[in-house]
Structure 1
Amino acid sequence: MREYDISNTVAIVTGGSKGIGYAIVKELADGGADVVVVSRNLNEAEAAADEVRRRGRTGLAISADIQKPGDCEMLVQKTVESFSRLDILINNAGTNIRKPLLEYKEADWDAILDTNLKGLFFCSQFAAMEMIKQGKGRVVNISSVGAQLAAPYLGPYCASKGGITQLTRVCALEWAQYGITVNAIGPYYIKTPLTEEWVSDPIRHEKILSRTAIKRLGEPEDVSSLLLMLVSDASSYITGQTFYIDGGALAGWTDL
């Protein structure tokens, strides 16, 4: 038996077709969950859902744009129609646009905040409505060290991730009475296709590692393994928290 057993649960993972989201999808399936993979690209979502099936669980692919509250409602409704329940929501979908603050346009701001924060909220809201009926649920939001550690050219991104910290706390406070826990995970630099180009530059790579006590980049599995605990019964007394998977980047200076 696995240490953290989530057998016979149903989970939604937004942005679940690649990177950290894909690692989470596999971790949840290995833990015993049926998994709904949400992506704007249906073919990529289907490929991830196929991996769930190969691991012996039921996988469902849904194409949705979580910037649209109607799509957030739709993906929850389709999940409940297919499985008659919803136990776990992983808000993983996110985006970023790097540029100086003076160059951001309204469309840039909206694209980042609507995905990273507004979409996360409405997915959580519609999921919570179903979890309340069951008397139990788990919500985990994928945030970033950017919620605590500001960086140039990441203004809207850092704002959105800081917002996740507070929204996680408010959701936790309001929904605890219904048996729903809400937590967040804030990764540092994780090796994914999204970060590959950014961290492949040797000078930038060295700067990134210089901030960490553990001198390596994170792996998607570093995130998914902690997440499995947070969606299991082992976390029943944990809510409103943000856990940073950062190799010690936020702990303090490493070179004094």
Structure 2
Amino acid sequence: MKNQVAIITGGSEGIGLSIASALATQGTHVYLVSRTLEKLEKAKEKILQQGGKADIKSADITNIDAMKDVIESVYKTHGRLDIFINNAGTWQGNSLDTPFADIWKLIELDMKAPYEIAHYLAGRFKEEKNNDLRILTIVSQAALQVLGNSLGYGVAKMGLAAGLFHIEKELQKEGIQNVKLYRLYPNTVATEKMMDAVRANQVKDAVSPETVADTAIDLLSDTTPTRDARIGYYIDKGIVRSYYPSTPQDFYHPAEIIEDVIDPDFTIQDLLK
């Protein structure tokens, strides 16, 4: 990762900031993207204090023209783009009582925006034969199972995963080797927003953002069995990574899911220390 260049959406906090910090620690120059400039400044300062290289770009991922400007600006500055972390999004509960306009707005944020960005990146960089680009999208466990109260979020994440595999199929069909897609499916993550629920014992199955970031780094380093990993805490197992097939034809009907218990001794209390 040393001397490489990365863009991280949703990079001002939570999973995005944890991945950005992990990349910066390994010598990557990270560009943090988010809507809120104040949060971006604080995140940048944190990485700089750790000895990393960081810059910020204020943009809304639902504005594809703004995101294209960010991508092209970084590429022009460095003459390369090695990593794109497609992370920004949000969770919101939706039921049959939720106005459909609200559901659709969430789908546009959690599915359309990251899918459109991945589509642009794949099309833009497939001709840049001297630029190897790794696109890691933070999807969700909601892409792998039907959850309650998720008429927007669950649909968005399942649709996002499907869209990414359709891009993957097109890259395979064209024989593109320099653009690679990775997908990460976290279970519950103890971000700052979630920690109050953890402290109140309302959430009992969360992992830290740093644990998710460690998985992201291993995926991007191509040291994992596949390019699709689920990460989560299970009370009877500890922290487990589950690797799904990364070929479009096998993902939805996997003959094997590889499980790797990475911390059998972890408990939810470890998050409170």
Structures share fold, TM-score greater than 0.5: yes
SS at match of 2:55: strand
Superposed displacement of residue 31, structure 1: 1.5
Superposed displacement of residue 164, structure 1: 2.2
Q: Which protein is richer in strand relative to its size?
A: 2
Q: Paired residue for 2:209?
A: 220
Q: Paired residue for 1:125?
A: 119
Q: Tell me which amino acid in the other structure corresponds to 1:171.
A: I
- Cα distance in 2 between the residues matched to 1:201 and 1:185: 27
Aligned counterparts, 1:5-20, within 5 A = 6-20=1-15
Q: 1:140 to 1:112 in 2, by over 3 A?
A: same
- Cα distance in 1 between the residues matched to 2:113 and 2:157: 13
Aligned counterparts, 1:4-153, within 5 A = 6-106=1-101, 108-128=102-122, 129-130=124-125, 132-133=127-128, 134-153=130-149
Superposed displacement of residue 246, structure 1: 1.6
Q: Tell me which amino acid in the other structure corresponds to 2:120.
A: F
Q: Paired residue for 2:159?
A: 163
- Cα distance in 1 between the residues matched to 2:169 and 2:100: 35
Q: 1:97 to 1:125 in 2, by over 3 A?
A: same
Q: Paired residue for 1:3?
A: none
Contact 1:13 1:25 in 2 (8 A): yes
Stretch moving more, 20-29 or 130-139: 130-139
Q: Tell me which amino acid in the other structure corresponds to 1:127.
A: L
Deviations 1:221-240 (A, max 9, x none): 111011112222546x844x
- Cα distance in 2 between the residues matched to 1:102 and 1:180: 42
Q: Tell me which amino acid in the other structure corresponds to 2:134.
A: R
Per the normalisation by structure 2, the TM-score is 0.77
Contact 1:147 1:161 in 2 (8 A): yes
% identical aligned pairs: 25
Stretch moving more, 61-70 or 74-83: 74-83
SS at match of 1:102: coil
Per the normalisation by structure 1, the TM-score is 0.82
Q: Paired residue for 1:180?
A: 179
Deviations 1:146-198 (A, max 9, x none): 11232222211001111122122222233351322111111111111222344
SS at match of 2:149: coil
Superposed displacement of residue 22, structure 1: 1.0
Superposed displacement of residue 132, structure 1: 4.1
Superposed displacement of residue 62, structure 1: 0.6
- Matched residue pairs, number? 232
Superposed displacement of residue 43, structure 1: 1.8
- Cα distance in 2 between the residues matched to 1:37 and 1:179: 23
Q: Tell me which amino acid in the other structure corresponds to 1:63.
A: S
Query: Please, which runs of 5 or more residues in structure 1 have no aligned partner?
Result: 1-5, 210-216, 252-256
Q: Paired residue for 1:232?
A: 221
Deviations 1:21-44 (A, max 9, x none): 111110010122100100000121
Higher relative contact order (CA 8 A, sep 6+): 1
- Cα distance in 1 between the residues matched to 2:74 and 2:131: 17
- Cα distance in 1 between the residues matched to 2:197 and 2:153: 16
